[in-house]
Each structure stands twice: as C-alpha cells, then as structure tokens.
Amino acid sequence: MQRDITKKALVRSTYERPAFFYSSAREGMLDLLRNVLKPGRAVALPAFIGWSPNEGSGVFDPVEESGVARRFYDLRSDLTVDLGSLAETLAAGDVGVLVVIHYFGRTDPAWQEVRRLATEHDVFLVEDLAHGWFSALGQGASGTYGEAQLYSLHKMLPFAEGGMVTYRSPELVSGQASTEHALAGRMLSYDTEAISAHRRLLFERTGAALAALARHDDRFELMWPEMGDDVPQTLPVRITGADRDHVYRHMNERGVGMVSLYHTLIPQLPPGFDEVRSISRQIINFPVHQDVDPEAVDDVVALFHEALDAASTGRSPSPADPAHPAERHA
C-alpha cells in the first residue's frame, strides 16, 4: 500500500500542462520559438499558410520575425499531411521545431505517424490548434501528441483577440511568460460542451445538406466528409466547377458570412506545391459556429446552390467590395 497518502493533492507537477496566455496566438508562437528552438535549427511548416495585407500571417509571421530558417512540407488534396514529404523534410536533419496545423479543427488521420517521425528525428512538435480548441477539449487525439499546443481563442469565442500556448510538461518551460493573464478567466465563462455540441450539430446538418446537393451537382466537393471525434471551426468545401470568388461575394452580400481560408498564400512559399496552390483558389468555408441557428441550414445551402449558378453563368456580383476582405489567420 502507498504510504504517506496526503489529504489532498500536493505535487504540483502531477499531470501539469503549463498554459500561457497572450494577446494573439502569433505572440505565443514567438515566445515559444525564443525559448524552445535551438540556435542553427529550422522550423518545418505545412505549405498551406495564408497571408492578408491587414493581418499578415498568423503562424508564419513569428517564424519570420525570429529570423530562423524554415522548411515547407507538402499536403494532400484534403489538407492532411503528406507523410512522404514530411519524412523527406525531417530527414535533412536541420529541423528543430515541426508545426502541424489542424485545419478546420480536424485531427490529422496520420497523427501517430507524425508523432513517430518527430520522435525519430528529435524535433519539438507543435500542434497548431488555432482552429481546434474545442477539438482538443474532446475525446480525440487533438492536443495530446505534441510537445506544445497553439490556440487562437478569438476564432472560437467572441473575443477581439486572445491566444494560448500549452506545454506537455513543466520540463519544456524555461523563460515563457504570459502577457494576458485575465484571458484564463474569460475562457472559463463559457459552456464549452454546449458550444461543441452546437458546432457539431451544424456541421452534421450542413454536411448532409451539401452531400445531398452534390449528388446532382458536381461543381463542388466536401473536403471533410466525416467529422469523427472533432469539433469544427468551419465546414470546408472545394469549388471545382465555378468561380470561387463569385460564390464568396454572392453569399456574403446576401448575409451569409463565408470565409475563404488562406485564399492568398504567403509569398515566401517556394515554387511547387501545385495542389496546395490550387486549393487556395478553390476553397470556401461555411460558418458552423455557435451563433448560427441550425434551422437556417437549408436556406444557406439553397443560397449556395444559387451562388454556384450565378458564378457558373458569369453574372458578377457587386464590385464595390474586394473579393476577400482581410480574414484573420491566427
């Protein structure tokens, strides 16, 4: 029998996952790099990273600001990790930090192999969960297999700003420091289980309605057909038979807040990565957040069908607004 059993837990490090709070996820990423990345080592990033003139690039800006070398690995057509490309990138031997982005809040199906490769090459694995805080709170693998997790809380909750970084154990923390201590209390003011259930319901209903439409309309395809254990930030669709920008404008001008995730890729992306570049010209994302009424789903999908028709016939929406107003990336 265990001796000296105390009346309450006293060992601070037992199951401790240190958390630090910032004004933005990019500020947290910069703090992480300054304290974790060893001199002379590079950061490996997925090739699908966006930029906007007003917001910059959430995950890439701190890498750029740090002045460290970067390497890019490729992704598959559904924006999951291309394991062959990742293995080749890590085999070069100069990577110190590997970033895996959970696009839309989805856990990469190859996460176990990603973890294995990171361990094999002795790299610090960062899960970018800017879209996946609610997924990390659930029962899936998101938020469990990296050394650190990066969160963009304003994408999940009605905050103007807010970021968080958590670490797998206290041993990974050296000089990291929060800059927004009050953010922790604001996060605890929300019912995360109710929000997660609402988002999952909207994803299921919207996905089912879009799948029904796709059976007789081949101008688009679902990029994430099965939700699994995750909680979505948005529902992504790839428009293959119409002008994406027309669809985007049509929907937004009629009151449905669509996003085109990473419609403009960072200019520092090296040549190649043709599939990723194609996705950036075709992707559009349906809102499935907690403010959306589930009863509105059928009307939203009907409007999407109307937008596809308008885009296919070349009827231009109003040119008053840019195709893509600034969309925050982190």
Per-residue pLDDT tens digits for 99-145:
999 999 999 999 999 999 999 999 999 999 999 999 999 989 999 99
- Name, in order, each residue with C-beta under 8 angstroms of 181's C-beta and a sequence gap of 6 or more: 21
| pLDDT tens string 152-163 | 999 999 999 999
The pLDDT of residue 53: 84
pLDDT of 322 strictly over 70:
no
Q: Which CATH number fits domain 19-187: 3.40.190.10, 3.40.50.300, 3.40.640.10, 3.20.20.70?
A: 3.40.640.10
What are the residue boundaries of the structural domains of the chain, listed by start? 19-187, 193-313
312 band by pLDDT with thresholds 50, 70 and 90: confident
pLDDT of 280 strictly over 50:
yes
- CATH T-level fold of 193-313: Aspartate Aminotransferase, domain 1 (3.90.1150)
| pLDDT tens string 190-241 | 999 999 999 999 999 999 999 999 999 999 999 999 999 999 999 999 999 9
